[in-house]
């Protein structure tokens, strides 16, 4: 039986990287960047099917990005292209990130471009904070979440505060928006670098009450030494290993369960996700 696909609603851009600060670089390496593109590739490497829901510019950069993602095994059949805005380009080097993303293609991805039927046979919808700015893309996220919820598809949210920060006008608006989307998710995917921008503390315990709100039933958290899996009644931890978010999601897919069953999963079942 063919596995249900993971739908990743997120950004893809052309990334030009160098070993030096961008203004000092003599040449750049070209790759497809963005959290959405990265999760799709990682999930595909785990043996799953990943569909990227996004919009690229109808320009050479957009065509190059789409071709590379398809070559990496990502399903690009739901990608949209527009003449109204360019494919975003990001320069990075020596720890600096310079995005050229004002009114870029993925932020213009409008709700009417999203086909609700896409969600009927999907395992999960995943998204990050990078495209939640005040734009058509934010409304598209809300429509996608509602469509996923209507058909029993998992909703998974990875705030990715550090990675998203360069694309937001200020930290306060990013924090406020990111926290507002927590209750919309069934599964939260967190890293230790998310905690301080979200809660002003590096202690996970201080954040758990705020995190378990709304639909949230499962939290995956990774720090520098350990990975943790939380439900409202079970805590599992393991020494840091090669378990990635993509692998966790693929294991969740293979459990063949539903969002409304998460709260009742036994510890023995949850261990299959972590070990």
pLDDT digits (tens, 9 = 90+) for 116-147: 999 999 999 999 999 999 999 999 999 999 99
| 191 SS3 class | strand
| 221 SS3 class | strand
Question: Residue 197, CB half-sphere, CA atoms under 13 Å: how many?
Answer: 25
Q: What is the pLDDT of residues 52-111, one digit of tens each?
A: 999 999 999 999 999 999 999 999 999 999 999 999 988 888 777 777 766 789 999 999
| 134 SS3 class | coil
- 49: tokens are 């099917």
Residue 115 placed within a domain:
yes
Q: How many domains does the chain have?
A: 1
Q: Say how far apart CA 167 and CA 16 lie, in whole Å.
A: 16
Residue 1 placed within a domain:
no
pTM of the model: 0.94
pLDDT of residue 1: 67
170-194 average pLDDT score: 97
**Any idea what the CATH number is for the domain that residue 147 is in?**
3.40.1190.20
Q: Phi and psi dihedrals of 125, rounded to 5?
A: -110, 130
- 268: tokens are 């023995």
SS3 content of the chain, % helix, strand, coil (to 5): 40, 25, 35
Show the domain range for 127.
6-274
Q: Say how far apart CA 128 and CA 9 lie, in whole Å.
A: 8
Q: Say how far apart CA 20 and CA 239 lie, in whole Å.
A: 34
Percent of the chain topping pLDDT 70: 98
């Amino acid at each position: 039986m063919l596995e249900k696909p993971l739908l990743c609603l997120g950004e893809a851009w052309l990334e030009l990287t160098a070993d030096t600060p961008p203004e000092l670089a003599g040449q750049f390496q070209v790759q497809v960047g963005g959290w959405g593109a990265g999760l799709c590739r990682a999930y595909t490497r785990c043996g799953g099917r990943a569909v990227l829901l996004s919009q690229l510019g109808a320009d050479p950069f957009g065509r190059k990005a789409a071709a590379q993602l398809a070559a990496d095994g990502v399903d690009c059949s739901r990608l949209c292209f527009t003449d109204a805005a360019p494919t975003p380009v990001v320069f990075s080097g020596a720890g600096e990130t310079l995005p050229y993303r004002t009114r870029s293609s993925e932020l213009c991805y409008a709700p009417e471009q999203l086909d609700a039927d896409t969600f009927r046979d999907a395992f999960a919808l995943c998204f990050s904070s990078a495209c939640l700015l005040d734009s058509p893309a934010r409304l598209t996220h809300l429509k996608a979440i509602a469509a996923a919820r209507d058909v029993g598809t998992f909703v998974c949210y990875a705030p990715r505060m550090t990675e998203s920060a360069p694309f937001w006008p200020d930290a306060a608006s990013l924090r406020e928006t990111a926290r507002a989307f927590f209750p919309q998710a069934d599964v939260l995917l967190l890293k230790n670098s998310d905690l301080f921008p979200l809660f002003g503390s590096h202690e996970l315990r201080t954040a758990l009450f705020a995190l378990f709100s709304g639909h949230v039933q499962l939290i995956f958290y990774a720090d520098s030494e350990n990975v943790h899996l939380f439900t409202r009644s079970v805590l599992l931890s393991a020494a840091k290993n090669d378990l990635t978010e993509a692998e966790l999601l693929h294991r969740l897919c293979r459990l063949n369960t539903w969002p409304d069953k998460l709260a009742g999963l036994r510890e023995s079942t949850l261990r299959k996700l972590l070990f």
